[in-house]
Amino acid sequence: MNLEKVVFGFFVLLAATLNFGFFLGDIDRPELHNVYELMAAVVVNLIVVILKFGDRTQMGAIHLATSLVASLQLVIAAAVWAYFDNVTDGAITGEQMSSVVSLSGGALFANVVSVVLLVIETASFRRN
């Protein structure tokens, strides 16, 4: 068993599940979307990006690209939430939360692509 692949697989799946947990719920209801879950998704996605640096395979490049896309969208979602929460007047509105959750949805799609690639890579692995 390759410990590096286990750790990478763990973090890819954790990133996807954390993002899914944040994304799930009515898009415009702020009380259904936890800021700490979004932050955890951001951190884990950034860890996945770091884990993929140095992999010189084509599949590694695609994994890195999907991780970069997910991380970028989650960082933007967190920044948008912080802006709406700290700069605008009053509590975050449903329309504003929709923007944050939509960005998270894009990141979730990138996470799903990464998981599918991981499954394909694992299924195509042949023992010698």
Does 74 reside within a domain?
yes
Does 128 reside within a domain?
no
Does 106 reside within a domain?
yes
Q: Single out the residue of 42, 24, 43, 41 nearest to residue 33, CA to CA.
A: 24
**pLDDT of 66-92, one tens digit each?**
999 999 999 999 999 999 988 888 789
**pLDDT of 25-50, one tens digit each?**
999 998 999 999 999 999 999 999 99
If one counts the domains in the chain, the total is 1
Does the model's pTM come out above 0.95? no
Tell me how far CA of residue 90 lies from CA of 33, 85, 86, 100, 108, in angstroms: 17, 8, 9, 17, 29
